[in-house]
Chain A
């Protein structure tokens, strides 16, 4: 049972100076009540930004797919004029849909990161901090939103280069940011919920791949609701991605949109997602 014999302790040069650790003997005053949630959200978002600042590979590789959608699909269907967009050039019509799609793709696989954190012990340690599970999940959901916002900026820049005429009104852009974060919060919570059920990366990857395209095609990202068959319209009506696309289109292009309804659905979906995934987070820790 014993391993390699331990060498006798020797005075190390890097041992701490006695008396130099006074702060480590003084516990901090805990935050209480409503102040816990924003503090944890900020902590998780800061960590996400720090990781992205150290390794930007993900940003570059993730820009490829939306660029291809806009360049190939968008340019081609603009020429064909096969999809009725109410007078808006198809590339313009498509750009908000691709923003929503590419940010959803990031969020829908966020659960893999949670399973990796479970396997590596990072999640275990976070669960032993004075952080309610709902606050931890909210923090993670908004951290996924940070990644999504950066992705959205990249897509907006690509679309601008391709000549898409979008608004630069700061208030509308703020609305875009909120919409992207709320949508990502929901889809990352959906992913964390699936992670809490299936518990392994392989299963989550399979389910993620199985649901992303149906969510995308059963929304108004590529074509308007009016051209969908009735059953697909019904599916689209309960798909939060449709509301996210509607809001993004309204904010970026100024097309008719029911912004209060879109915002309400996205907030409700995010809150529901946080509640369900929080209740399943404990399964990952066992």
Chain B
């Protein structure tokens, strides 16, 4: 079966700074795959390469066998993308926000309203769809952005830090809707997060990323079981323990560059 996503030696630099340093990754169709790591690990840069926002060399990124360098438009048609920032337009209603993406993904007028309705239903926003997005809570805005990404029936849904800045109940709600949509449509989900507990609970497989490279990859249960076996002291390690072990020293000094931190804090502030 064709992989939903294949990264082969993906590299990307900002000037002298190597953000992604040779990423090898395969995401299987239908799974929820978590790309984990602290701020500045290179997760968002990797995602931006996959979404064609950043240019890559041919052969580095393939989405359902389409090359992201050579067949950009075809790749974009396969993707649904929710960036880390709050990207719903506060000056429009919930329905208008989703309708815009229905239009730019060429959904014909005769089925546009029905699709928008289904996307809003998928995220539990049908009853408030005609309210201005400015009046939505943080969790509702995230679900609205999810509806914007879902309306074009993407085969690969990419979520960059979808629960950052949300309270625990809103985080659970966002994840429940992601799982429900995956179950109903069979779409593949690639999510970046630095919340290890969420990844442990909701992802089928995870890749632990640090300093632009993947340090470990597998099902959360397998990774923790392997560490337990290596330690041999009967303790029950968490995914965070696995990450600390594979990342080695220097983690405490991590936390991303000024721009990463500002973006994260801005998103958290806007979500209230």
Contacts and interface: CB of A to CB of B under 8 A. Distances in A.
A7 B198 CA distance: 10
Nearest to B120: A16
Interface string A135-167: 000000000000000000000000000000000
A23 B118 contact: yes
A40 B52 CA distance: 19
A252 B130 CA distance: 41
A130 to B, nearest CB: 5
Contact of A28 (B91, B106, B172, B177): B106
Interface in B111-129: 111, 114-115, 118-119, 121-124
Given A23-B115, A25-B153, A125 B106 contact: no
A28 B118 CA distance: 14
A285 interface: yes
A15 B118 CA distance: 12
A50 B100 CA distance: 11
A3 to B, nearest CB: 5
Given A27-B153, A28-B105, A130-B105, A120 B85 contact: yes
A24 B103 contact: no
A30 B175 contact: no
A25 B76 contact: no
Q: For the complex, would chain A's binding face be called helix, strand, loop or mixed by DSSP majority?
A: loop
B107 interface: yes
Interface string B44-85: 000000011110000000000000000001001111011111
A17 to B, nearest CB: 8
B196 A1 contact: yes
A6 B195 contact: yes
A18 B184 contact: yes
A132 B89 CA distance: 21
B153 A24 contact: yes
B124 A26 contact: no
A16 B176 contact: no
A51 B91 contact: yes
Question: Which of B78, B104, B119 is most buried by chain A, counting CB atoms within 10 A of its CB?
Answer: B104
A279 to B, nearest CB: 14
B177 A15 contact: yes
Interface in A204-223: none
B196 A27 contact: no
A20 interface: yes
A128 interface: yes
Interface in A12-64: 12, 14-31, 39-40, 42-43, 46-47, 50-51, 54-55
Contacts, number: 179
A47 to B, nearest CB: 6
A30 B106 contact: yes
Interface in B160-199: 167-169, 171-173, 175-177, 179-181, 183-187, 194-198
Contacts of A121: 83-87
A199 to B, nearest CB: 12
B51 A128 contact: yes
Contacts of A4: 167-168, 171
A283 to B, nearest CB: 12
Contact of B104 (A5, A17, A43, A286): A43
Given A30-B106, A121-B83, A24 B198 contact: no
Contact of B76 (A51, A55, A130): A130
A129 B76 contact: yes
A278 to B, nearest CB: 14
B211 interface: no
A124 interface: yes
Contacts of B124: 12, 14-16
A32 to B, nearest CB: 9
Given A22-B118, A30-B73, A130-B106, 12 more contacts: A9-B175, A12-B176, A23-B153, A24-B181, A26-B153, A27-B155, A30-B77, A43-B103, A54-B92, A121-B86, A126-B104, A128-B76
18 contacts: A6-B168, A7-B169, A7-B172, A17-B121, A19-B184, A23-B118, A25-B153, A27-B78, A28-B107, A28-B111, A30-B106, A40-B104, A47-B89, A47-B92, A54-B91, A120-B85, A125-B82, A285-B54
